[in-house]
Amino acid sequence: MDKLQINHIQCDASVFLKMAKHCHEESQTSLDLPQGAILGMLDGTRLEITHCFPYPNNMTESSDDEEYQWAMMRRLRVVNVDMFHVGWYQSASNTKFLTETLLESQFNYQTCISESVVIVYDSDRSIRGVMPLKAYRLSEQAIKMYKEGAQTFKALQELGVGFEKLVVEIPIHIKSSSLTNILLLDMYETLPQEKGSQYLDLGTVGVLEKQIRGMMSRTDDLIQETVKFNRYQYSCVRQEHEKQRQLNYLSLENSARVAQGQKALSGDDIKNQFREISPPPRRISLILSEQINFISKEINQICSQSIAKLILTEPLQTSKEEKK
């Protein structure tokens, strides 16, 4: 399962539009995250996505969810549509998509269907005119982590799991038909010239502020998790010091008893008195660190685009001032 290699994903344009429509409509009418299934097939190292359908929001039982999916796939098979389940999609912001729930769901998908991927639709990127779809799979280390239920720092260290090794991003390409490409070219020619200047708009202040706020929130949460781990280490050190102090005192007492011809006392009672302190789970810290890493990359991309636009428009502004 974890040996499977998927180099890139090819998604039909119609599937992309269906996912975008579903995510936009549900985000305006429901508080739940829009989710759905993606169907297709694996061709060598390329995963082709040819169809999708949304999950309804009124289902509360997992059995109802599974029954609905099977019913949909049976109906799609009747009309000769690809009905092989290859993953799922979800609408989420780039700063909030990586959660414990998403990772557990993807682990269950990859365990049952080895080629499964999760596609995240980011509405914020869509508003900025950036490719809003990103595809992810769990890394081999993350799969081992969930299989073995690793939570402690020592267990994660033995598995070699770091925050940068939780998920692997798979490049995704949108496939359009020739007629669609002709239509897009025709629409581009009808675009008024004055409308072209909007692409030089920076328009990143609100987005950048949102990303920075998200980073501040994740950093605060990570600090709280670090404080918990530091308290655990302090408690372990203090317990060990107290244990050694009592054992040293017992050793001195036993030396005196032996000198008096008495039997030495056992130190088992002292050892049993100090139980091992349960370490705090470190998986949340890994997820928070990866979230901060994603936000940092997004901020870097936003700033790079803004700087490129500024450099591009600087000669035009200088020429305009010289003419005045």
Name which of 84, 89, 136 is nearest 112 in CA terms: 84
Strands 172-175, 8-12: pairing kind:
parallel
Q: How many CA atoms lie within 13 A of 240 on its CB side?
A: 7
Quick check: 120 and 89 in contact, CB under 8 A?
A: yes
Supply the pLDDT for residue 320. Answer: 61
78, pLDDT greater than 60: yes
Name the nearest CA neighbour of 26 among 94, 74, 91, 118: 91
Sort residue 276 into left (φ over 0), alpha (ψ -120 to 50) or beta.
beta
**What amino acid is encoded at 102 in this protein?**
L
Which position has the higher pLDDT, 59 or 147? 147
pLDDT at 16: 92
pTM, to two decimals:
0.78
Question: Predicted confidence band at 324 (pLDDT cuts at 50, 70, 90)?
Answer: low
- Check if CATH label 3.40.50.150 holds for domain 8-176: no
Helix (H) / strand (E) element for 295: namely helix 283-323
Start-end ranges of CATH 3.40.140.10 in the chain?
8-176
* Torsion sign over Cα 59, 65, 71, 73: positive
Residue 163, judged by CB atoms within 10 A of its CB (0-12, 13-18, 19+), counts as middle
Using CA atoms, how far residue 94 sits from 116, 183, 218, in Å, is 20, 31, 13
Per the CB < 8 A criterion, the answer to whether 27 and 65 are in contact is no
The fraction of the chain above a pLDDT of 90, given in percent, is 20
Neighbouring residues of 59: CB distance < 8 A, sequence distance ≥ 6: 65, 68
Residue 29 has pLDDT above 70, yes or no: yes
User: Helix (H, G, I), strand (E, B), or coil: what is residue 135?
Assistant: strand
The whole-number pLDDT of residue 1 equals 45
More confident residue, 219 or 59: 219
**Considering the chain, what is the average pLDDT of its residues?**
82
Instruction: For 265-296, write each residue's pLDDT tens digit.
Output: 777 777 788 888 888 888 888 899 988 988 88
Residue 322 to residues 21, 313, 316, 317, 319: CA-CA distances in angstroms?
48, 14, 10, 9, 5
| Alpha-carbon dihedral sign for residues 164, 167, 168, 170 | negative
Average pLDDT over residues 137-157: 86
